[in-house]
A and B are shown apart, each in its own frame.
Chain A
Amino acid sequence: MTDQTKLAGLSRRKFLTTSLYASASVAALGIGTRSAHAAVDLSGREMVFASWGGSYQAAQETAYCNPFMEATGATVIQDGPMNGSKLRTMVEAGAPIWDTVDVTDTFLVANEELFEDLDFDIVDASPLDQAYVHQKGIGCIIWSYNVAFNTDVVGENTPQNWADVFDVEKFPGKRALRDRVYPMMEIALMADGVAREDLYPLDVDRAFAKLDTIKDHVIWYTSNSAAQQLFVDGEVGVGVLLNGRTFDVFKKGAPVNLTWEQNIRSIDYLVIPKGAPNAEVAQHFMNATVDADNQALMANTLAYAPCNPAAFDMIEDDVLPWLATTQENADKGILINAEYWRDNLAEMTERWTEWKLS
């Protein structure tokens, strides 16, 4: 799957400051939450960590893998990029080479049979917001789909919600939308006036009818980096973009911004593939990622929201507004219903393709 918000990093200087800051806070906190896994000696053991590559995985290596290696003596080998069909094939063949993998929430709930149960005797998930804890995985970051816009194109009156994105009178020209049935159903329904709390189960016919109204005004994108380019070039004035991707181009100086109104949050989970050769090490690794310091370091590096609320105390002021799980931002949006999509994705994707061809 390619829908990950994997950002280009911040400047090297900032990154170093962040790392120093985090190490300092670790030192200041002393033992604290770290004692749980510091006690485990895993010298000579190893595990393979697979994620989405790029600066995202580099940040995970800094925030999660390195502290874990230091504390336990285990070796973490980096691999990837994560690929749904590759993971599935490895598990089906009974020989996964990955021990911990970063997957999206929709992939996790749709493929639960591919993963080991977490051993909650080893993994202390109690510091986490329990909405982000699953029998087979624990949340590592939270990201969101947002209403995004190019200020050079739309001017002073920026779009406020999905209804604006669908309003071709108010915002003429093309809009960039995600070529995938989720989150487009949710987006279309909110644009049509459905309240956030009434979205599920989705009124699919109504969603497609709403999409019909802007059919010819849309550039459908499948790659998030291509989407960033559409916004940066001003090819589109409004549309949907991931919060991290927007943060990325905003930081680089592009006239691109977002609104949090009606944002759709989604979670990335860390999971252990069934039959993973080093599952036990992986369980200890899971425990280490729960740590507030590690999660704060991750957020400060790449503006991804932590699942451990305690991490917020250590997040920098200019990063905070970009996080999907601050109270303020979370109150304006919804968490995507991964269970709904597990039950309906296959059928709905066929309908989505059919609609596109019509």
Chain B
Amino acid sequence: MSFKDRNIWLLMPALLLIGICFLYPVSWLLQRSVSEPVWGLQNYFTIFSKTIYLGVLWNTVAIAGATTILCALIGFPVAYSMVHSSPWVRKILIFSVLIPFWTSILVRSFAWLVILQRGGIINDVLIGVGMMAEPLDLVYNRFGVLLGMVQVLLPFVVFPLFSVMARIDGSFVRAANNLGATPIRAFFRVYLPLCLPGLLTGAMLVFIIALGYFITPALLGGRGDIMIAQLIFERIDEFGDWPLASALAIVLLVGTGLLFLLINALLKIRGGRI
């Protein structure tokens, strides 16, 4: 670390901000989750004993996980072509990733509704050219949710990957090829491991952001696509049930924190080998 201890006061503004705007409210939530209606862990027992809370927790992890995998699979080739194309094409690629990113999530989610619904563009075209007799159900289900979330979160995996890939020395792969590795082998044994820090950072960002998603599943999802943020909103808005909502929020926060530590540890191990 290049940071000298005597410069620690430079961190103060950030620490103060986190303290006031994050740690204080979170400790308030934590307190409400264990002190109401009586002191104890009953709110947490409720969450971990009722099928609806477990079901929604599972939904949240499943949707966030699937979003992450899809983002990585789509984002990797995009970042790769960004790095290995002419500056002009690169600019176009960067903008085509950034411009949707700068558009409001709400607008984009509604746009997906217009495109995907039964009377939407895609179904109209499919039926028009005679490929389908009946419109496909592309929205108000898991497919719609994943499509919407992947589009929104893709930049979070593309840009970390891009910055890591841009710094990879091409001679490593060429050396592997010279030493007799097939291109596929060279990719998996040399190139991919070098990309891993970027890939894992991006995937972690996507997964963590996806865990707290609200608007996209609410608008594009169907009956079974409820995520934890929607449940928290409902508990507070409809029932004023701060204790249970707080407990749900704490569960989400702790789960996310553990995941963060896990991936961090993983990165360290990889870092040691590279």
Binding site for B on A (CB under 8 A): 1, 83-85, 88, 111, 173-174, 215, 218-220, 222, 226, 233-235, 345-346, 349-350, 353-354, 356-357
Query: Which chain B residues lie closer than 8 Å to A354 at the CB level?
Result: 51-52, 55
Query: Which chain A residues lie closer than 8 Å to B237 at the CB level?
Result: 1, 83-85
Decide if A85 touches B236 in the complex (CB within 8 Å). yes
Q: CA of A345 to CA of B218 in the docked complex: distance in angstroms?
A: 21
Decide if B240 touches A219 in the complex (CB within 8 Å). no
B169 at interface, CB cutoff 8 A? no
B226 at interface, CB cutoff 8 A? yes
Q: CA of A83 to CA of B233 in the docked complex: distance in angstroms?
A: 12
Query: In the complex, given contacts A235-B118, A345-B238, A346-B239, what are 15 additional A-B residue pairs having Cβ atoms less than 8 angstroms apart?
Result: A85-B236, A173-B118, A174-B118, A218-B223, A220-B223, A235-B117, A235-B119, A346-B241, A349-B239, A350-B50, A354-B52, A354-B55, A356-B226, A357-B59, A357-B223
Instruction: Point out the residue from B52, B140, B222 that lies within 8 Å of A350, measured CB to CB.
Output: B52
How many whole Å from B215's CB to the nearest CB in chain A?
11
Query: Which chain B residues lie closer than 8 Å to A220 at the CB level?
Result: 140, 222-223
Query: Which chain A residues lie closer than 8 Å to B241 at the CB level?
Result: 346
Query: Which chain B residues lie closer than 8 Å to A349 at the CB level?
Result: 234, 238-239
Instruction: Point out the residue from B50, B218, B223 that lies within 8 Å of A356, measured CB to CB.
Output: B223
Q: Which residue of B lies closest to A352 (CB)?
A: B52
Decide if B218 touches A88 in the complex (CB within 8 Å). no
B157 at interface, CB cutoff 8 A? no
Q: Which residue of A lies closest to B245 (CB)?
A: A85
How many whole Å from A226's CB to the nearest CB in chain B?
7
Query: Which chain B residues lie closer than 8 Å to A88 at the CB level?
Result: 240
Known: A235-B119, A353-B52, A356-B226. A85 touches B219 (CB 8 A): no
Question: Which chain B residues numbered 89 to 103 have a C-beta less than 8 Å away from chain A?
Answer: none
Q: CA of A356 to CA of B240 in the docked complex: distance in angstroms?
A: 22
Q: Which residue of B lies closest to A87 (CB)?
A: B240
Jot down 9 A-B pairs with beta carbons below 8 A, ordered by A: A84-B240, A85-B236, A85-B240, A88-B240, A218-B223, A353-B231, A356-B223, A356-B226, A357-B224
Decide if A111 touches B240 in the complex (CB within 8 Å). yes
Decide if A215 touches B51 in the complex (CB within 8 Å). no
Decide if B119 touches A234 in the complex (CB within 8 Å). yes
Q: Which residue of A lies closest to B219 (CB)?
A: A226
B56 at interface, CB cutoff 8 A? yes
Decide if A84 touches B226 in the complex (CB within 8 Å). no
Q: Which residue of B lies closest to A88 (CB)?
A: B240
Query: Which chain B residues lie closer than 8 Å to A346 at the CB level?
Result: 239, 241
Q: CA of A85 to CA of B232 in the docked complex: distance in angstroms?
A: 12
Instruction: Point out the residue from A219, A234, A345 that lies within 8 Å of B140, measured CB to CB.
Output: A219
Query: Which chain B residues lie closer than 8 Å to A218 at the CB level?
Result: 223
Query: Which chain B residues lie closer than 8 Å to A84 at the CB level?
Result: 237-238, 240
Decide if B117 touches A357 in the complex (CB within 8 Å). no
How many whole Å from B238's CB to the nearest CB in chain A?
7
Q: CA of A222 to CA of B56 in the docked complex: distance in angstroms?
A: 17
Q: CA of A309 to CA of B56 in the docked complex: distance in angstroms?
A: 47
Binding site for A on B (CB under 8 A): 50-52, 55-56, 59, 117-119, 140, 218-219, 222-224, 226, 231, 234, 236-241
Q: Which residue of B lies closest to A92 (CB)?
A: B240
Q: CA of A218 to CA of B223 in the docked complex: distance in angstroms?
A: 9
Decide if B50 touches A357 in the complex (CB within 8 Å). no
Decide if B239 touches A345 in the complex (CB within 8 Å). yes
Q: CA of A357 to CA of B59 in the docked complex: distance in angstroms?
A: 9
Q: CA of A176 to CA of B120 in the docked complex: distance in angstroms?
A: 17
Query: Which chain A residues lie closer than 8 Å to B56 at the CB level?
Result: 353, 357
Q: Which residue of B lies closest to A220 (CB)?
A: B223
- 5 cross-chain pairs, A with B, having the tightest CB-CB distances, nearest first: A357-B55, A354-B52, A88-B240, A356-B223, A85-B236
Pick the most buried of A111, A235, A357: most chain B CB atoms within 10 A of its CB.
A357
Q: CA of A120 to CA of B110 in the docked complex: distance in angstroms?
A: 47
Decide if A233 touches B223 in the complex (CB within 8 Å). no
Query: Which chain A residues lie closer than 8 Å to B226 at the CB level?
Result: 353, 356-357
Q: CA of A220 to CA of B231 in the docked complex: distance in angstroms?
A: 16
Q: Which residue of B lies closest to A226 (CB)?
A: B219
Decide if A357 touches B52 in the complex (CB within 8 Å). yes
Query: Which chain B residues lie closer than 8 Å to A83 at the CB level?
Result: 237
Q: Which residue of A lies closest to B50 (CB)?
A: A350
Q: CA of A235 to CA of B223 in the docked complex: distance in angstroms?
A: 17
How many whole Å from A27's CB to the nearest CB in chain B?
43
Decide if B238 touches A233 in the complex (CB within 8 Å). no
Q: CA of A173 to CA of B59 in the docked complex: distance in angstroms?
A: 27
Decide if B238 touches A1 in the complex (CB within 8 Å). yes
Q: CA of A144 to CA of B241 in the docked complex: distance in angstroms?
A: 27
Q: CA of A174 to CA of B238 in the docked complex: distance in angstroms?
A: 28
Q: CA of A215 to CA of B119 in the docked complex: distance in angstroms?
A: 21
Pick the most buried of B218, B234, B239, B241: most chain A CB atoms within 10 A of its CB.
B239
Q: Which residue of B lies closest to A215 (CB)?
A: B223
Decide if B218 touches A222 in the complex (CB within 8 Å). yes
Query: Which chain A residues lie closer than 8 Å to B234 at the CB level?
Result: 349
Query: Which chain A residues lie closer than 8 Å to B236 at the CB level?
Result: 85
Q: CA of A357 to CA of B63 in the docked complex: distance in angstroms?
A: 14
Query: Which chain A residues lie closer than 8 Å to B118 at the CB level?
Result: 173-174, 235
Q: CA of A286 to CA of B52 in the docked complex: distance in angstroms?
A: 42
Q: CA of A354 to CA of B52 in the docked complex: distance in angstroms?
A: 5
Query: Which chain B residues lie closer than 8 Å to A219 at the CB level?
Result: 140, 222
How many whole Å from A243's CB to the nearest CB in chain B?
23
Q: CA of A346 to CA of B234 in the docked complex: distance in angstroms?
A: 10
Query: Which chain A residues lie closer than 8 Å to B51 at the CB level?
Result: 354, 357
Q: CA of A301 to CA of B90 in the docked complex: distance in angstroms?
A: 56
Decide if B224 touches A356 in the complex (CB within 8 Å). yes
How many whole Å from B116's CB to the nearest CB in chain A?
11
